[in-house]
Structure 1
Amino acid sequence: MKRGQLIGIAIAGGAGLLAFILMRSIVNEPSAPKQVAVQVDATEVLVARHDIPLGQVTKATDFRWQTWPKEAVTPSFITEGSGGGMKVVEGAIARAPLLEGEPVTSQKLIKPGQGGVLAAILPSGMRAISTKIKEETAAGRLILPNDRVDVILTRRERSPTGQDEAVSDTLFQNVRVLAIGQSIGTKEGTKLSEGNASTATLELNPRQAELLARANSTGEISLALRSVVDGDLKGKGPTAAMNDQRGSTVRVLRYGVPSRAYGVN
């Protein structure tokens, strides 16, 4: 066989082999994944367009409609098909903070004429009562709404020697501050309370509110700010001083004689 014929056969064989490899790679190439559209039964739910703080008067622009699976919609949600729509929330007052994207419920908003905001945020059975404060009796005016404090009464008493002396008792522990002055919430970036605020409104039960009213007339009330770590972890609300260790009352021994018990739940 001539040399030219051998070269031609070799070239043809190489081309055939290359064609075989290319065809095999095409055949074995994985097919593109198929996308299957699943129809989800959904509805439009009203959600907060941005963070809404406690006590803010809301506008229609504070909310938007968001597609939501129907199976996840609860009766408290405001849906596009429900009566009222945006009119339900326009001009309302936030009785609890709302986060961006959070569904709006009627329980978190109150319309003017349905009661004050402070009354709306008070838990059942609790009372709001105010006490005078100043810089030296309120942690340098660094106490803000929703902080927790201990309530201390300082008064003058006559000692057995006939001399007047100052006596302090802790009346209640772990008391929630509802408002400082006229402010019931803090705006973003606010780190100080109202500079001219002269009152603090506290959350107490009825008996404790009576005791605080009496204490306001007998001496000076001071508020000791508690760490956020020492908050209301057990959900018990305000308690008498040393309540966890000594039962439901507090008695301070003075000159060997127990004093009046102030804090009872």
Structure 2
Amino acid sequence: MKFKKIIIVSLALLLAIFGVFLLNVINDKKGDSQSVQTTMILISPTTLQPGDVISLSKLLWKDWPTQSISKQYITKEQKQNVKDIEGAVVRYPIFEGEPISLNNVIKTGGKSILAAVIRPGMRAVSVPFNKIVNAPALILPGDVIDVVIPKKELSAGHTDDLVGQTIIRGVRVLAVDNIIQKMNDGKDLSSPRTITLEVTSDQAEDLAASIPEGRIVISMRSVFAGQDVYSDGYPKSDELPVSRGDKPSRTIALFRGSERSEVTVK
């Protein structure tokens, strides 16, 4: 009797073990059938800045979920796109590990790299650094600035009053000298000769008219501030008073009958 119980218990254990094994096999097969399909695409192993020239030797092929692949990504089967990407110029930042997208690069066709990074409808205007009154100690491509001109204003009979007038808002610095991307190699950009700004055609005319008359002031914007590019010329609402200096004092003599008194006014 005891022997039969032992046999029954042993068979039950064997069946349980076999059931667990069979269940694992079934789950493995389901997992294989549901595995994610991937396709090889081009990615950048390092961050690329606007103005960088694409070199295939510095890019990597990586498996990417097929369902997540955009039409603008470059796959290994697209031999023509792979060929065309060599020597193209980066228009917008491509971050480390990000796929190379045809929207982010452009072929220069023999034209300058600067022309490739200007947005459609915009212009590039160079400003001599010695025309900037308050030139920042360090200004880099990609910074966003406002351009202000100091103007004399006639008020209350005084012609030496100055106002600051913002003529351009939120423009992007395209280049400092001939450098059009931020440098990470320690290259000194603290004493440039020119800066190149990305402006509209109207802003280019305003800037061209302002520089010969005198010098300009630039104000740096925070990297967290949005860009609001205007092209309305010289908006009155942008006139802001600046330091006017101390006016010379004057003494006025007042007579009341035979009495004389003096009052100092400014």
Name the TM-score, length of structure 1 as normaliser.
0.69
Partner Cα separation in structure 2 for residue 41 and residue 229 of structure 1? 39
Query: Is the CA contact (8 Å cut-off) linking 2:133 and 2:216 kept in structure 1?
Result: no
1:35 aligns to what?
29
Query: Is the CA contact (8 Å cut-off) linking 1:132 and 1:221 kept in structure 2?
Result: no
Partner Cα separation in structure 2 for residue 103 and residue 179 of structure 1? 26
2:260 aligns to what?
none
2:229 to 224, 231, 237: 237
Deviates more, 1:218-227 or 1:163-172: 163-172
Runs of 5+ consecutive residues of structure 2 not aligned to the other structure: 242-266
Query: Is the CA contact (8 Å cut-off) linking 1:131 and 1:221 kept in structure 2?
Result: no
Shift of 1:106: 3.2
Query: Is the CA contact (8 Å cut-off) linking 1:53 and 1:187 kept in structure 2?
Result: no
1:249 to 235, 238, 251: 235
**3-state SS, counterpart of residue 174 of structure 1:** strand
Structural mapping, 1:116-195, within 5 Å: 116-133=112-129, 137-141=134-138, 143-155=139-151, 164-188=160-184, 194-195=189-190
**3-state SS, counterpart of residue 224 of structure 2:** helix
Aligned pair 1:197/2:185, yes or no?
Answer: no
**3-state SS, counterpart of residue 35 of structure 1:** helix
What percentage of residue pairs aligned between the two structures are identical?
28
Query: Is the CA contact (8 Å cut-off) linking 1:128 and 1:202 kept in structure 2?
Result: yes
1:83 to 1:28, Cα distance in 2 relative to 1, 3 A:
closer
Shift of 1:211: 0.7
Name the TM-score, length of structure 2 as normaliser.
0.69
**3-state SS, counterpart of residue 169 of structure 2:** strand
**3-state SS, counterpart of residue 180 of structure 2:** coil
Q: Which amino acid aligns with 1:237?
A: V
Partner Cα separation in structure 2 for residue 115 and residue 136 of structure 1? 33
1:150 to 1:78, Cα distance in 2 relative to 1, 3 A:
same
1:129 to 1:94, Cα distance in 2 relative to 1, 3 A:
same
**3-state SS, counterpart of residue 217 of structure 1:** coil
Partner Cα separation in structure 2 for residue 77 and residue 59 of structure 1? 16
> Root-mean-square deviation (CA), in Å?
3.5
Query: Is the CA contact (8 Å cut-off) linking 2:142 and 2:182 kept in structure 1?
Result: no
Q: How many residues align?
A: 231
